[in-house]
Each structure stands twice: as C-alpha cells, then as structure tokens.
Amino acid sequence: MKKKLFLLLITAIIQLSAFAQTEIPVYDSVLAARLGADEYGMKSYVLVILKTGTNNLGPGAERDSLFAGHLKNINLLADAGKLIIAGPLGENKNSYRGIFILNVVTLSEAKELLNTDPVIRENVMEADLYNWYGSAAISEYLEVHKRITRKGF
C-alpha cells in the first residue's frame, strides 16, 4: 500500500512538473507586444509616492488653482498613456498623499513627467520614486474605468 501511494505521489509530481513548464495556451503574442510585456507578462514602471511638500499653502484661490492643475495634469498624462494608476491615500502618519504608477522605465523619465504637475513644481507635494515591476496588463483597466465613470474631477 505504501509503495502504491509513493508511486502515485511521484507520478503526480512528474505530471505537475511537466504542466508547470508548458506555455500557457491562451497566450496572445500580439497583445503582449502591444503592452510591452516580457515572457512573464510583466514590465517595468515607476511607482511614485506623493507626500506633503514643504510649501504649506493654506486654503484659498492659489491652492485651488494648483490642485485643479494637478487633476488636469493627471488626465493629460493618463490620456497620453504615461500615467497608469493614480489615486489619493487615506490619512496616515507618513504624510503620504497619493500614488502614481507611471508607464516609463527610468526615474529620469518619471521626473520629467512629474515636473508638469503644478503641485509638485510648487512643492505642495513631493515625490518619492521607485522602479517597479508589475503586470503589463494594468494599463488595460483605464478603458474599463472610462466606461464606469459618471462624474469627473
């Protein structure tokens, strides 16, 4: 009985091993190329953590104008395919305000894009940048998001 269980276990391991080494049958090479995916379906991005900056601008017209420009810039970067994810963070002890995932490979490319944002240029927010490796498919959610959004900022 033990010998049969052992042989069954070995057979299962061999079969699982062979299955794990095969290519996924639904692989779409055209889509992978369009999204810039590597063989794992992944690609490089830049993760940006926005935090409270040194310019402690109080409420008023100037602050309102800067944040209107910030939201407009987010939409421009998203429409250009450079900004994949953006959103605010809840209150936290680190003064983190939000995140971006930029569809660029280098930190210098990301810095150039961030310089187009008025709240960053005016130091109302500062940005910490990190290289990030994630699914090449995350950009696809933006099209779905457009279809479920009833009201813009």
How far, in Å, are 35, 75, 104, 128 from residue 68 at the CA level?
30, 11, 24, 22
pLDDT in tens, 112-136: 999 999 999 999 999 999 999 999 9
Q: Round the CA-based radius of gyration of the chain to a whole number and report it.
A: 22
96: Cβ–Cβ under 8 A, 6 or more apart, which residues?
49, 50, 51, 89
In this prediction, residues 19-26 reach a mean pLDDT of 64
Residue 18, domain member (yes or no): no
Mean pLDDT computed over every residue of the chain: 88
In this model, does residue 62 exceed pLDDT 90? yes
Give the pLDDT of residue 7: 47
Q: Report how many domains make up the chain.
A: 1
H runs (alpha helix) in 21-99: 29-35, 61-79
Question: What is the domain extent for residue 67?
Answer: 26-148
3-state helix, strand, coil in the chain (%, to 5): 45, 25, 30
Domain-embedded: residue 93: yes
Model's pTM, two decimal places? 0.79
Do residues 134 and 37 lie in contact, with contact meaning Cβ atoms separated by under 8 Å?
no
Share of the chain above pLDDT 70, in %: 84
Q: Note whether residue 129 is domain-resident.
A: yes
CATH label of the domain that carries residue 34: 3.30.70.1060
